[in-house]
Chains A and B, each alone.
Chain A
């Protein structure tokens, strides 16, 4: 009988981690639905970016208030997880506070956790006020209605509850309070429970302990369904982030081949493609109309987005009332990817055409054509997401596959084709300015 708590704990742990692992596999599979591309260059620069941007939060502090609060919650999350390690060992072995054997350092450790816990609690309350009372504009855009709004608040409630449980657990642990070392915050909470008997305190402590660890397991499994995935994906995402100048857009290789062939006076335009070249090298289509056409990095970007809206608040089109919101581009990409993933799950691993796609059903032409390619969204993202890259691929699809550019742009492009300038001027007049 005495092993029942340990057994229950082990079962909870296996279920919690198992289900999470299952969803991580699904996440991996969905990201790999994207177009293949190889990123294996400049590893040292990439590690540096990951350490600076993800671990070091260097871009978060561009907005000092949100940045500071975020760093508190982030450091709290990372450091308090050391306590989770103790809880897991205690839970599996039936011991109580196994790390306390390290002596006085334990007090310092727990004291640090307690201070961080209260700081996290306060920060999270401020975050909640920013979203729900002050109602900052970037949290109220149309794409934030419904689930995204609730998701944001759910995460804050989770953290409030977990921090409360941690402090209550310490406050009602009479042995720990008697040690009087490390209870820097919980000593002020303990008196609230001093009217209760020792036994009741013990029950409260046990309940808080169990709810705390179960809460963490539930929270872990909430990640996959939430914008909170960024706590994990920010790391690979900043590692794989673009290193070339922001203004450098990729040249499509398949186009290069065709252009080179067209320009080559010796090439036989009617030649059949040789066997070994095959059709595999030429993409089925240019640009992207659905998530499978985007690169895996675009899809990783989408899962990493935590919907903070810094991109959208910096976007010139969005600021002037246009429909475009870079955040919505990322959210739409993730939503569509999830839909495709579920479709695959429901059809024994094969995607069955559902008559829908990212372009049109999620992202409208109007949004895509409102972009000035100014890179403000890319610059603003604290975790190196590139919404512009997705916008460009969808424009390429519209223009090269569907000839669906706005009429004025078609005129402009016809002019370039005919006379090498976006306006209908004669190429031979190109130097006239010098004599005018």
Chain B
């Protein structure tokens, strides 16, 4: 089922003596998690379609250390950060795009203090840029009349105040964008942040993702849009808990764009 994705590596660019426009930071989820890999591929299709000269680090990429830091392991975080920064600086990387708000936040805000200064953008910001520059068309009738509600990832929204880019991109699809009662700065977390993704929740009377999907389902959506691989997993599980997986899809903004254009 290989779809002829063009995914050059930094090493290949280097060998040709070229610099790509952007480095696509795939992230651990995007590289290994089955669901997140689909998001990665959808974004690559968009990059291919828009003829973006991009590269990935491939096997030279390592975990950002973000999740170790949030778990309290500053040593491990800084070890990972310094290792990655060495690679990124060796390739003279200037601009980084990633589909993971956690990598986005970590590289953008926490790497500079350790010697890694880059222009870091989230893939929804980059897609917005491609559309604005006329390199990518998203308007089609595929999603016309569909109700889409966007769930703000904490590390994109509250943490970095990026609220509009994903919404602008989604509006371009001619779908009907509906907001949950709590959105943007008051959006409820999906429950995965702060290393929760990797552990069982503490004792309580409900799971956070079930509560958040309830927020989303109240908008009566056809699609719940996410901008983070972890949110995607949490919302997908939440939909199952509400037994709505037959009626509602959970898709990343990149997947929605790729779907709208039948990429």
Chain B residues near A392 (CB, 8 Å)?
70, 72
B173 to chain A, nearest CB (A): 25
Q: State whether A405 touches B72 (Cβ < 8 A).
A: yes
Tell me the residues in window 1-42 of chain B with beta carbons closer than 8 Å to chain A beta carbons.
Answer: 1-2, 5, 7, 9, 26, 28, 30-33, 37, 40-41
Q: State whether A259 touches B206 (Cβ < 8 A).
A: no
Cα–Cα, bound, A434→B58 (Å): 10
The stretch from B143-151, B157-165, B249-257 touching chain A is B157-165
Q: State whether B71 touches A413 (Cβ < 8 A).
A: yes
Instruction: Please indicate which of the listed interface residues B2, B63, B68 has the most CB atoms of chain A within 10 Å of its own CB.
Output: B63
Interface bracket on B? 35 or more
B185 nearest in chain A by CB position: A379
Cα–Cα, bound, A271→B25 (Å): 38
Cα–Cα, bound, A287→B77 (Å): 14
Q: Which of B40, B65, B71, B212 contacts A409 (CB 8 A)?
A: B71
Q: Is A423 an interface residue (CB 8 A)?
A: yes
Interface bracket on A? 35 or more
Q: Which of B26, B74, B194, B208 contacts A251 (CB 8 A)?
A: B74
B109 nearest in chain A by CB position: A248
B228 to chain A, nearest CB (A): 12
Q: Given A247-B105, A248-B110, are A421 and B32 neighbors across the interface (CB < 8 Å)? A: yes
The stretch from A49-57, A218-226, A312-320 touching chain B is A312-320
Cα–Cα, bound, A194→B167 (Å): 67
B229 to chain A, nearest CB (A): 12
Q: Is A433 an interface residue (CB 8 A)?
A: yes
Q: Which of B105, B193, B196 contacts A245 (CB 8 A)?
A: B105
Q: Which of A245, A260, A429, A435 contacts B160 (CB 8 A)?
A: A245
Q: Which of B7, B161, B206 contacts A431 (CB 8 A)?
A: B7
Q: Is B62 an interface residue (CB 8 A)?
A: yes
Q: Is B178 an interface residue (CB 8 A)?
A: no
Tell me the residues in window 294-330 of chain A with beta carbons closer than 8 Å to chain B beta carbons.
Answer: 314, 316-317, 319-324
Instruction: Please indicate which of the listed interface residues A248, A316, A396 has the most CB atoms of chain B within 10 Å of its own CB.
Output: A316
Tell me the residues in window 51-107 of chain B with beta carbons closer than 8 Å to chain A beta carbons.
Answer: 56, 58-59, 61-63, 65, 67-76, 78-80, 82-83, 86, 105
Cα–Cα, bound, A165→B70 (Å): 53
Q: State whether A319 touches B211 (Cβ < 8 A).
A: yes
CB-defined interface of A392-436 with B at 8 Å, one 1/0 digit per residue? 100111111000011011011100110011110101111111111
Q: State whether A430 touches B5 (Cβ < 8 A).
A: no
Q: Given A372-B154, A420-B62, A428-B59, are A400 and B189 neighbors across the interface (CB < 8 Å)? A: no
Q: Given A314-B186, A423-B32, are A251 and B72 neighbors across the interface (CB < 8 Å)? A: no
Cα–Cα, bound, A396→B75 (Å): 10
B216 to chain A, nearest CB (A): 14
Q: State whether A251 touches B211 (Cβ < 8 A).
A: no
Tell me the residues in window 235-289 of chain A with beta carbons closer than 8 Å to chain B beta carbons.
Answer: 244-249, 251-252, 255-256, 258-260, 262-263, 286-287
Q: State whether A370 touches B71 (Cβ < 8 A).
A: no
Cα–Cα, bound, A237→B41 (Å): 46
Q: State whether A374 touches B76 (Cβ < 8 A).
A: no
Instruction: Please indicate which of the listed interface residues A375, A421, A433 has the most CB atoms of chain B within 10 Å of its own CB.
Output: A433
The stretch from B131-139, B197-205, B219-227, B239-247 touching chain A is B197-205
Chain B residues near A379 (CB, 8 Å)?
158, 185-186
Given contacts A374-B194, A399-B72, 5 further A-B contacts (CB under 8 A): A321-B204, A379-B158, A413-B73, A421-B31, A433-B40
Q: What are 15 residue pairs bridging A and B, where the CB atoms are less than 8 Å apart in the complex?
A: A245-B109, A245-B159, A245-B161, A246-B159, A260-B82, A316-B191, A319-B188, A320-B191, A372-B194, A372-B208, A375-B158, A395-B72, A421-B62, A428-B59, A433-B30
Which 7 interchain pairs have the tightest Cβ spacing? A247-B159, A395-B72, A373-B194, A321-B205, A420-B62, A374-B189, A321-B204
